[in-house]
């Protein structure tokens, strides 16, 4: 069965890594990764307006995939509550699950494989002020749990929702 797992969290909180590992467990799932989509869909800057426009594009693609029974994992920062609510509204399906990857800024900075945090003194220059999600379907503690446990928690969640049968 299909679903949209919309993963939000700070850069380097594990979104892309978990999405790739989740794909190994669910091979027919499409991964819409923020870093790749910024280039492909032409995000001009990291302003709030540009981020909201990008969210609309990504959500529309996810909705099309869902319509064709393709499970989707979206791994994007989506720092604003407004953008996450916009994604949910566009997809407009009870198979949309907002998942927050919880990880402290300090830990994300130590994981910085692309050097984004080192390039700027002000984190909001490339993430915007990250607004903690209030209403989520699932929270994954990527700071204290290994990747395998995080993926397992997502699989368990989907199985409990009767979305996935393993």
**Residues annotated catalytic, as ranges:** 78
CB 163, CB 1: distance < 8 Å: yes
CB 165, CB 159: distance < 8 Å: yes
CA distance 110 to 114: 11
CA distance 101 to 152: 14
Q: Could you give phi then psi for residue 114, rounded to 5 degrees?
A: -100, 0
* Helix %, strand %, coil % of the chain (to 5): 45, 15, 40
Beta-bridge partners for 33: 75
């Amino acid at each position: 069965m299909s679903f949209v797992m919309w993963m939000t969290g700070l850069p380097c909180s594990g979104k892309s890594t978990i999405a790739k590992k989740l794909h190994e467990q669910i091979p027919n799932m499409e991964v819409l990764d923020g870093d790749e989509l910024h280039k492909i869909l032409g995000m001009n800057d990291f302003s709030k307006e540009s981020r909201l426009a990008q969210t609309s594009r990504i959500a529309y693609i996810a909705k099309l995939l869902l319509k064709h029974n393709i499970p989707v994992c979206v791994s994007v920062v989506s720092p604003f509550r407004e953008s996450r609510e916009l994604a949910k509204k566009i997809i407009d399906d009870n198979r949309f699950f907002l998942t927050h990857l919880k990880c402290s800024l300090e830990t994300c900075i130590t994981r910085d494989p692309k050097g984004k945090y080192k390039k700027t003194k002000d984190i909001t220059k490339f993430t915007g002020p990250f607004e903690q999600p209030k209403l989520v379907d699932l929270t994954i503690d990527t700071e204290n749990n290994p990747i395998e446990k995080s993926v397992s928690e997502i699989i368990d969640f989907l199985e409990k929702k009767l979305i996935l049968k393993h």
